[in-house]
């Protein structure tokens, strides 16, 4: 048949129910995670988030950007991990929607903006799909609250 016993055992291990519980397995569906990240559609909505939360993280993205699409599920997981009403909110804003009112030009996507206690933190901008740098920045800023 061309397959040896070890090949079949490897296949069976991959298909076993416990394989889904492995440390690298996704914790929830991508679609569900993405649906829970608030999407900013107006300057007023952005301002309300900034005024009502101590830390605000905004993912400035576009629909046509490959790295934006690639990091979106990880951003959604971070949102589930760190978002807490009144303390921290993570949202998304499509720069092609041209809501305007950005504190600094968005020169590349994805670009993550941070606001703490109502103030834009221009020295904390993360540009590019570096989820590790994004999470480190979030943790550092939460420690400062």
Count other Cβ atoms within 10 Å, centred on residue 100: 9
For residues 82 and 129, is the Cβ–Cβ distance under 8 A?
no
C-beta separation of 88 from 143 below 8 A: no
Task: Based on the residue annotation, tell me whether 68 is a catalytic residue of this protein.
Answer: yes
Asked whether the CA dihedral 90, 92, 95, 99 is positive or negative, the reply is negative
Catalytic residue selected from 68, 71, 88, 111 = 68
111 is catalytic: no
Active site residues: 65, 68
């Amino acid at each position: 048949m061309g397959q040896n016993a070890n090949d079949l055992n490897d296949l069976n291990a991959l298909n076993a129910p416990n394989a889904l519980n492995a440390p690298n397995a996704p914790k929830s569906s991508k679609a569900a995670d993405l649906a829970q990240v608030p999407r900013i559609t107006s300057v007023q909505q952005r301002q309300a988030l900034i005024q009502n939360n101590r830390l605000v993280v905004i993912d400035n993205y576009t629909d046509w950007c490959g790295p934006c699409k690639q990091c979106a599920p990880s951003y959604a997981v971070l949102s589930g991990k760190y978002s807490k009403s009144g303390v921290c909110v993570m949202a998304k804003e499509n720069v092609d929607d041209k809501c305007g009112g950005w504190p600094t030009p968005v020169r590349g996507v994805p670009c993550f903006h941070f606001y703490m206690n109502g103030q834009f933190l221009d020295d904390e901008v993360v540009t590019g799909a570096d989820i590790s740098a994004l999470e480190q920045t979030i943790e550092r800023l939460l420690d400062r609250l």
